[in-house]
Amino acid sequence: MDLEYSADERAFRDEVRAFVAKHLPADLAAKVHEGKRLSRDDFLRWHRILHKQGWVAAGWPKEFGGPGWTPVQQHIFDEECAAAGAPIVIPFGVRFVAPVIQRFGNAAQKAHFLPRILSGEDWWCQGYSEPGAGSDLASLKTRAVRQGDHYVVNGQKTWTTLGQHADWIFCLVRTGTEGRPQEGISFLLIDMKTPGVTVRPIRTLEGEHEINEIWFEDVKVPVANLVGEENKGWTYAKFLLGHERTGIAGVGRSKRELAKLKDIARRERSGGRPLMEDARFRDRIAQLEIEILALEVTNLRVLSEEGKQRAPGPEASILKVRGSEIQQSLSELMMHAIGHYALPHVREALDAGGNAEPVGAEYAAPLAGTYFNFRKTSIYSGSNEIQKNIISQMILGL
C-alpha cells in the first residue's frame, strides 16, 4: 500500500488542519493535551462546531447528512483532530447506532434519529453487556415481552460508558427463547427518561465515574423502536461491533501520545541523561512506532471496505487487538519515562485549572489514572482472547 498522499489528499489535509487550528477552542485542546477531565459540555461543544461545518460524521454517506469522504480523507481527518488535541466525537451515536439505523432501520427511524445524532441533540449509550454476559454476549438475559404496541423490558446492563449523560440507549434484549442462544435477541432503542430506567455509577480503578450499570424495571418501549426484525438483533449487533472495534484502533490518538512520549524522553532528567539516550528505551519506542504504522495500514484497509458499503470483517478484530495493546504499551512507557513522579494519582489535578505541581512533573498528573484505565481496553468490545478466536476461525480457518 502506498502511504504517500496524493495532491488532492494533501490539499484536504491542509484544509482540515486550517479549520481545526481556527475553530478548536484553546481550552479544549489544552485539556486534551494535559489529560484533564472532560465534561459533557466539552464533548458537545466540539461536536456542534463540527456539525456546523458538516464534518461531525466523517464516515456517513451524503444521503444521510455526512460529508461523503473517502476512507483516506476520514483517516486524515481523525489524525489531524487527534494531533491538534480535539476531543473525540462520542462514538455511540455517530459511529455505533447510526450505521445500524442507516442499514437496518425503517424510514421513520432514519428520519427521526439520524438528524438528532448529527446535531448532538441526542446523546446515546450502549446496552450490550450484562453481569454474566460480557464477551459471551449471546447469554444475555434482559427480557422484552411484547404487550400490544409496546415491549415491557426488565433486566440489567453494565459497563455502560457515559450512560450518566445519555438521552437514549440502544439495547440488545431477549424476545425469544427457542433455538440457539444467538437467536431470540432483538435490537431496541430506549429513551433513558422512560419510567423504570435507573442509572447507577460504577467507579473505575482510578476513581473516575466513566461507566455505569443500568436497570430496567417494567420499562415500556414502543414497538416502533424495534430496529429491523424481531429476534434478528444478533445480526445487527455483529454489524455494530465491527464498527466499534474499528474505532478502537485509535491510530491518531496513539500517534499523538507517541509524540508526547518522545518529547518527555528527550528532556534532561534530574541527576541523569535524557531517557532517549538509553538504547533499550529507544528500541521500545521504535518497536511501538513500527506497530502503529502497521496498525495504520490495516485501519485504512478496513475503512476502504466500509467505503464500499461492506460491514467491517474479521480485520476489525485485528484492529481491536493491536489498537488496545498499543494503547496499553504507550501508557506503560509513559509511566516509565516519568518515573516515580507518575506513581501518585491526584484526582483534583484532572479538573480544569487544576495544578499538577503536587505530583512533581509536567504530564504526571493523569498518568497513573490513564495506566489503570487502559487495563480495560483489551477486555471491552469483546476481549482480545475472543478476537483472536474470531481471527483464527474467519481468517486462518482454524
State the DSSP code for 139. G
Sequence-separated (6 or more) residues with CB below 8 Å from residue 392 = 398
What's the average model confidence in pLDDT over 214-235? Answer: 97
What is the rounded (10 degree) CA torsion for 281, 256, 9, 312? 90
The reported pLDDT for the residue numbered 358 is 40
The reported pLDDT for the residue numbered 269 is 66
The reported pLDDT for the residue numbered 50 is 98
* Residue closest to 371 by CA, chosen among 329, 320, 337, 321: 329
Q: Which of 64-73, 99-108, 324-333 has the highest mean pLDDT?
A: 99-108
Instruction: Report the share of the chain in percent with pLDDT over 70.
Output: 90
Reported as a single tens digit per residue, the pLDDT across 309-323 is: 566 667 778 888 898
Cα separation of 117 and 46, whole Å? 14
Reported as a single tens digit per residue, the pLDDT across 132-180 is: 887 788 899 999 999 999 999 999 999 999 999 999 999 999 999 888 8
Q: How confident is the model at residue 337 (pLDDT cuts 50, 70, 90)?
A: confident
Question: Would you tell me the crossing angle of helices 40-53 and 26-34 to the nearest 10 degrees?
Answer: 130
What's the average model confidence in pLDDT over 218-235? Answer: 97
The bridge status of strand 143-147 relative to strand 197-203 is: unpaired
Q: How confident is the model at residue 196 (pLDDT cuts 50, 70, 90)?
A: very high
CATH classification code of 249-394: 1.20.140.10
E strand spans, 25-99: none
User: Residue 354 above 70 pLDDT?
Assistant: no
Burial of residue 1 (number of CB atoms within 10 Å: 0-12, 13-18, 19+): exposed
Sequence-separated (6 or more) residues with CB below 8 Å from residue 316 = 241, 242, 243, 245, 246, 302
Q: Which residue has the higher pLDDT, 360 or 50?
A: 50
**Residue 362 grid coordinates:** 509536567
Give me the residues paired with residue 152 across strands. 145, 220
Sequence-separated (6 or more) residues with CB below 8 Å from residue 52 = none
Contact 141, 170 (CB under 8 A): no
| Domain spanning 124-231: CATH 2.40.110.10 | yes
Question: Cell 512507557 appears where?
Answer: 333
Cα separation of 275 and 336, whole Å? 10
Q: How confident is the model at residue 199 (pLDDT cuts 50, 70, 90)?
A: very high
**Residue 98 grid coordinates:** 447510526
The reported pLDDT for the residue numbered 380 is 80
The bridge status of strand 209-222 relative to strand 143-147 is: unpaired
Contact 137, 92 (CB under 8 A): no
pTM of the model: 0.87
Give the start-to-end residue ranges of the domains of the chain: 7-89, 124-231, 249-394
**Residue 286 grid coordinates:** 521504535
* Residue closest to 357 by CA, chosen among 366, 345, 367, 365: 365
**Residue 356 grid coordinates:** 499538577
What's the average model confidence in pLDDT over 334-346? Answer: 79
What is the rounded (10 degree) CA torsion for 328, 332, 333, 335? 140
The reported pLDDT for the residue numbered 360 is 47
Q: How confident is the model at residue 357 (pLDDT cuts 50, 70, 90)?
A: very low
The reported pLDDT for the residue numbered 200 is 97
Contact 193, 165 (CB under 8 A): no
**Residue 41 grid coordinates:** 459540555
Burial of residue 149 (number of CB atoms within 10 Å: 0-12, 13-18, 19+): exposed
Contact 274, 354 (CB under 8 A): no
Q: How confident is the model at residue 243 (pLDDT cuts 50, 70, 90)?
A: low
Helix-strand-coil percent breakdown of the chain, rounded to 5?
55, 15, 30
E strand spans, the chain: 124-127, 143-147, 150-157, 168-174, 185-191, 197-203, 209-222, 226-227
Biggest alpha carbon–alpha carbon distance for the chain: 74
Cα separation of 1 and 19, whole Å? 28
Give me the residues paired with residue 126 across strands. 170
Indicate if 249-394 has the same CATH topology as 124-231.
no
- pLDDT averaged over the chain? 88
State the DSSP code for 190. E
Measured between alpha carbons, how far apart are the two ends of the chain, in Å?
A: 27
Q: How far is CA 2 from CA 7, 66, 249, in A?
A: 13, 27, 20
Question: Cell 455526512 appears where?
Answer: 66
Q: How confident is the model at residue 268 (pLDDT cuts 50, 70, 90)?
A: low
